[in-house]
Structure 1
């Protein structure tokens, strides 16, 4: 993990502090045991005690909860299911530990909510020193990365289907069918945002699909009028650097401030 420096305008200032999970429902022993194993503190909302630094709100994936978790005093939001924090990427907790912002949602929730708008709103609020053109490049890149993570990553739908009218009809049928499959719709998509040094910010989008070879995808020549395959080249142009991690399941996009 690189050394992280967070600008003083960020609301998540608890660098190198133990993350704390804040839940509204009574804490179960299973969840408490999971958090102990991960070195995560637990706090029950509404207990009257002050919310600790480096806190992550956790609960059902609703617009209100996501917006609250991405706003002060919190540093992120985790959608909790019956499995508790199992399946949530460790990158989420390390991001908050280093002073960044995190979000972990199930695929169906990302698709149902205005996820891009919620994250973009939080980036504008938490990283005040970003230039407007940098924010716009982040939003464009994040839109492409989220679409790829949902469709090609977690749902495993091939890109070429949308190049014809007939293929698009087939794409919609496959999309509906796979969203109805709990094992696919329940896969997670995670967004982690961190300042890296004083001159850049990294936005990482992770999925739980089969992964892909970023270098191979970027080396393919894409025709200017192509109907697919233009997302990654667009992200590469918008970013200062672009890296694939976790076997191609994470796209780490770095933007100059």
Structure 2
């Protein structure tokens, strides 16, 4: 389907993870050993929040760069990801499962200060697309520019209170998908991993109706990794609060990445991270 990465922590050049890691997101675009598809070359997206301005009031709003080029072939991604410094960013490489290859179908999706991305699919989406799209709040409906199930899911979560209760809203959106799918005779309507952020916290979900979700991993805390690998010079790039959640481990070092359990949400914020049970399949 796709592969993605979310980072939060001390401000960092995104290229350190998107381009330069041993198994970077761009490397996953060309060869994804744990993915449903080996190659994810149907476009990419990169969304990032600016470094906090203590004089500015209100939430930080992200910037987004999306392209239908394969990630490994886009010079602009290389330029931007090395020029930008960000404390929180998303990166996504796409393998189109049906909706056309167009820029508006590339992740991440943005609304106000929110970013959203998804790896997976709503099974037989065409059967329930109309019902789900019409469940989106009328004020949000015109903002959907693409044709993907992921964008509808995002706007459904916004409709169901994402700004006030992210976990509850995503839970309600997925249950709405499952109810519509089951009514249409779809046995396992929901599949995937997804991430959402308001610019301060990242919520990363692993869930499928079948209980066999796409892969998802979370990095151990940086001080622990430094203690395990004191001679790893590359760790100097990362501050003590750096956290990564990603579809596949970014390197082969044992203990650095830990699998996020099935039916779980990983919550990453300035205080650290924790896991919560999400939904029963």
| TM > 0.5 fold call | no
TM-score by length of 1: 0.28
Q: TM-score, normalised by structure 2?
A: 0.27
Higher fraction of helix: 1
Q: Which has the higher strand share?
A: 2
